[in-house]
């Protein structure tokens, strides 16, 4: 047989092998035939069942994708991602947010207590803030002129976390007044310890080793817990009613009572002119830091305190890892819809965990803190925050996985930006290419154009981009922006599912 003949014999044998149902064997008895036909029928039945199952799974995925809107919040640490998510919760799932109130109260209390312990440590000259990377220019959020703290994953009280990181101050002995506050407010060390322990009780062990940047956050009221399941539900009353072994409610009640007993001293500590003088001599402006509640201590340390939505928006809880938040819409117009938010940790060490979420979202909401123009990153004090946001934006725009994803850019923290510009800080001193006036509208317009140009230049294909300026701690103005975001996303989803 020729080679060609062999090849054609082989291919016809293969053809017979692959044929379904298989050709009958040459010498088949009636019984064999009946058995074969029955086997073939059964095989066909199983195969059809598998096909039907696959098709119904495909339809379920399509249905889920139609019913579910998936959004990924991106941006550097402290750009306001989690705060924006809280605004979405407030607008569309207010009851669910209200149910988390106990958890947020613990965070707010921890923010407050850390500020108090920080002041006492600083002014009783156990420690002094480390020097700024920019000589004498003070950058409240990023300069590092605040002592470092352990995060909630490290349950040791504030004072112990100073010892390794800070030089001893050359200042002489603390004043009698500070010594008195130190004594009177010493029970707050225990409150800090209780709250930190309770907030980090889930996964604390696993998160502690993996988040060096969070451990050295250097912020008076910084709190971080491992994201995802756990910490909020843990603090819901009904969540621990069934767990007789936990002593959480008692511990929490103790902490609240101690805080309430210290209330008058906390208020007078913050009102003390010598404390204010001491802080300003050290170049520390606590009121400009995230999670600042000292000016509300009278109300917040009260045993009856219930957090308001404004308080919840201002609470600072650093996100570690990626948190999934499923919002089942409570509002009439959106009832039944589900929006799934992926809220990521924005610090540099966290960014590698973003990518797996890129190929499964309807839209990206990217936040840039416009106030970052005169700040540096906590995790790398040589990097300007605005520059870091530009670079991050470039990277996100360039991603092929996000090629056809809708983009929403929020130029956030406009209130802080405006206050700084009004106080005389020149935007052009930090952004050399800026030539316009030192006022909010001009600076925002400059940033808007800059981000749009980068998007245009770096995107692999044309794509929708919506830009808004926001102040995420202002409920009313943010609500108006959220409605526009909702409309834009819904319209895009309808187009994508051929319903328009």
Ligand X SMILES: Nc1nc2c(ncn2[C@@H]2O[C@H](COP(=O)(O)OP(=O)(O)OP(=O)(O)O)[C@@H](O)[C@H]2O)c(=O)[nH]1
The span of 11-19, 201-209, 327-335, 467-475 binding ligand X (CB under 6 A) equals: 467-475
**Strand duo 338-344 + 68-74: pairing:** parallel
Residue 81 sits in the site that holds ligand X (CB under 6 A): yes
Question: What Cα–Cα distance (Å) separates residue 245 from each residue in 9, 230, 248, 249, 421?
Answer: 76, 17, 9, 11, 54
Question: What Cα–Cα distance (Å) separates residue 219 from each residue in 92, 213, 286, 455?
Answer: 32, 12, 9, 33
Closest listed residue to residue 294, CA positions, set 446, 77, 120 = 120
Query: Do 109 and 259 contact (CB within 8 A), yes or no?
Result: yes
Question: What Cα–Cα distance (Å) separates residue 158 from each residue in 268, 273, 494?
Answer: 21, 24, 51
The CA angle 349-355-358, to the nearest 5 degrees, is: 145
From the list Mg ion, ligand X, none, partner contacted by residue 313 (C-beta under 5 to 8 A by kind): ligand X
Query: How many other β-carbons are positioned within 10 Å of the β-carbon of residue 317?
Result: 25
Query: Do 411 and 372 contact (CB within 8 A), yes or no?
Result: no
Query: Do 55 and 443 contact (CB within 8 A), yes or no?
Result: no
From the list Mg ion, ligand X, none, partner contacted by residue 77 (C-beta under 5 to 8 A by kind): ligand X
The span of 22-30, 82-90, 155-163, 467-475 binding Mg ion (CB under 5 A) equals: 82-90
Residue 93 sits in the site that holds Mg ion (CB under 5 A): no
3-state secondary structure of 7: helix
Residue 80 sits in the site that holds ligand X (CB under 6 A): yes
User: Which one of residues 319, 369, 389, 406 is an interface residue with Mg ion (CB under 5 A)?
Assistant: 319
Residue 158 sits in the site that holds ligand X (CB under 6 A): no
3-state secondary structure of 322: strand
**Strand duo 363-369 + 406-412: pairing:** parallel
User: Which one of residues 294, 473, 481, 485 is an interface residue with ligand X (CB under 6 A)?
Assistant: 473
- Smallest distance from ligand X to CB 222, Å: 9
**Alpha-carbon span 370 to 329, nearest angstrom:** 30
From the list Mg ion, ligand X, none, partner contacted by residue 413 (C-beta under 5 to 8 A by kind): ligand X
Residue 82 sits in the site that holds Mg ion (CB under 5 A): yes
User: 271 a known binding residue?
Assistant: no
Binding mask 317-336 for ligand X (x = CB under 6 A): -xx-----------------
Site for Mg ion in 178-217 (CB under 5 A): none
Query: How many other β-carbons are positioned within 10 Å of the β-carbon of residue 242?
Result: 7
User: 285 a known binding residue?
Assistant: no
* E strand or H helix that includes residue 225: strand 224-226
User: 246 a known binding residue?
Assistant: no
Query: Do 114 and 222 contact (CB within 8 A), yes or no?
Result: yes
How many amino acids of this chain bind ligand X (CB under 6 A)? 25
Based on CB atoms, which residue is closest to ligand X, 353 or 399?
353
Q: Is 75 left (phi over 0), alpha (psi -120 to 50) or beta?
A: left
User: 317 a known binding residue?
Assistant: yes
User: 413 a known binding residue?
Assistant: yes
303: tokens are 């045993």
Query: Do 346 and 77 contact (CB within 8 A), yes or no?
Result: yes
The span of 112-120, 170-178, 345-353, 484-492 binding ligand X (CB under 6 A) equals: 345-353
Based on CB atoms, which residue is closest to ligand X, 97 or 416?
416
User: Which one of residues 232, 325, 413, 466 is an interface residue with ligand X (CB under 6 A)?
Assistant: 413
User: 492 a known binding residue?
Assistant: no
User: 199 a known binding residue?
Assistant: no
Based on CB atoms, which residue is closest to Mg ion, 81 or 182?
81
Instruction: State how far Cα 67 lies from the chain centre.
Output: 24
Binding mask 160-189 for ligand X (x = CB under 6 A): ------------------------------
User: 412 a known binding residue?
Assistant: yes
Based on CB atoms, which residue is closest to Mg ion, 319 or 405?
319
- Smallest distance from ligand X to CB 415, Å: 5
User: Which one of residues 201, 347, 361, 467 is an interface residue with ligand X (CB under 6 A)?
Assistant: 347
From the list Mg ion, ligand X, none, partner contacted by residue 316 (C-beta under 5 to 8 A by kind): ligand X
Query: Do 138 and 285 contact (CB within 8 A), yes or no?
Result: yes
- Smallest distance from ligand X to CB 68, Å: 22
Query: Do 253 and 304 contact (CB within 8 A), yes or no?
Result: no
Residue 125, phi then psi, degrees to nearest 5: 50, 30
* E strand or H helix that includes residue 231: helix 231-234
Based on CB atoms, which residue is closest to Mg ion, 225 or 286?
225
Residue 345 sits in the site that holds ligand X (CB under 6 A): yes
Closest listed residue to residue 347, CA positions, set 227, 467, 245 = 227
- Smallest distance from Mg ion to CB 81, Å: 5
Site for ligand X in 283-312 (CB under 6 A): 290-291
232: tokens are 């909020």
- Smallest distance from ligand X to CB 350, Å: 7
Instruction: State how far Cα 158 lies from the chain centre.
Output: 24
Residue 370 sits in the site that holds ligand X (CB under 6 A): no
Based on CB atoms, which residue is closest to ligand X, 82 or 384?
82
Question: What Cα–Cα distance (Å) separates residue 359 from each residue in 60, 117, 264?
Answer: 18, 44, 53
Binding residues: 313-319, 412-415, 472
Binding residues for GTP: 313-319, 412-415, 472
| Site for ligand X, rule CB under 6 A | 75, 77-83, 290-291, 313-314, 316, 318-319, 345-347, 412-413, 415-416, 471-473
Binding residues for Mg(2+): 319
| Site for Mg ion, rule CB under 5 A | 81-82, 319
């Amino acid at each position: 047989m020729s080679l060609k003949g062999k090849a054609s014999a082989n291919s016809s044998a293969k053809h017979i092998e692959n044929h379904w149902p298989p050709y009958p064997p040459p010498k088949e008895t009636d019984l064999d035939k009946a058995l074969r036909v029955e086997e073939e029928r059964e095989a066909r039945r199983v195969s059809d069942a598998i096909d039907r199952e696959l098709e119904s799974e495909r339809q379920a995925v399509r249905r889920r994708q139609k019913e579910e809107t998936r959004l990924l919040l991106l941006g550097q640490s402290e750009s306001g991602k989690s705060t924006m998510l809280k605004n979405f919760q407030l607008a569309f799932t207010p009851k669910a947010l209200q149910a988390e109130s106990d958890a947020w109260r613990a965070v707010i209390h921890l923010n407050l207590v850390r500020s108090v312990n920080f002041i006492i440590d600083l002014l009783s000259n156990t420690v002094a803030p480390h020097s700024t990377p920019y000589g004498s220019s003070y950058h409240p959020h990023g300069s590092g002129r605040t002592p470092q703290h352990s995060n909630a994953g490290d349950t040791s009280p504030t004072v112990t976390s100073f010892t390794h990181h800070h030089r001893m101050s050359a200042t002489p002995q603390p004043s009698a007044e500070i010594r008195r506050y130190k004594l009177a407010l010493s029970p707050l060390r225990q409150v800090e310890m209780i709250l930190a322990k309770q907030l980090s009780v889930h996964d604390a062990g696993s998160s502690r080793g993996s988040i060096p940047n969070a451990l050295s956050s250097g912020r008076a009221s910084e709190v971080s817990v491992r994201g995802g399941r756990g910490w909020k539900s843990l603090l819901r009353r009904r969540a621990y009613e069934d767990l007789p072994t936990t002593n959480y409610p008692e511990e929490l009640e103790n902490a609240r009572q101690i805080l309430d007993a210290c209330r008058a001293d906390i208020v007078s500590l913050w009102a003390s002119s010598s404390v204010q003088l001491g802080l300003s001599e050290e170049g520390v402006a606590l009121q400009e830091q995230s999670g600042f509640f000292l000016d509300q201590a009278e109300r917040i340390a009260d045993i009856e305190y219930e957090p308001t939505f404004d308080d919840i928006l201002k609470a600072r809880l650093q996100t570690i890892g990626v948190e999934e938040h499923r919002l089942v819409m409570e509002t009439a117009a959106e009832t039944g819809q589900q929006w799934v938010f992926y809220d990521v940790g924005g610090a540099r060490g966290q960014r590698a965990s973003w990518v797996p979420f890129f190929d499964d979202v309807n839209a990206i909401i990217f936040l840039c803190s416009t106030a970052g123009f005169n700040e540096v990153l906590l995790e790398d004090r040589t990097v300007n925050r605005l520059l870091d946001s530009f670079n991050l934006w470039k990277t996100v725009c360039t991603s092929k996985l996000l090629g056809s994803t809708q983009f929403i850019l929020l130029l956030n923290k406009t209130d802080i930006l405006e206050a700084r510009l009004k106080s005389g800080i020149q935007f052009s001193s930090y952004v050399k290419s800026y030539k316009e006036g030192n006022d909010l509208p001009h600076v925002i317009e400059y940033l808007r154009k800059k981000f749009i140009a980068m998007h245009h230049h770096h995107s692999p294909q044309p794509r929708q981009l919506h830009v808004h300026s926001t102040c995420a701690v202002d409920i009313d103005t943010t609500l108006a922006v959220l409605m526009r975001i909702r409309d834009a996303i819904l319209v895009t989803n309808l187009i994508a599912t051929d319903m328009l």
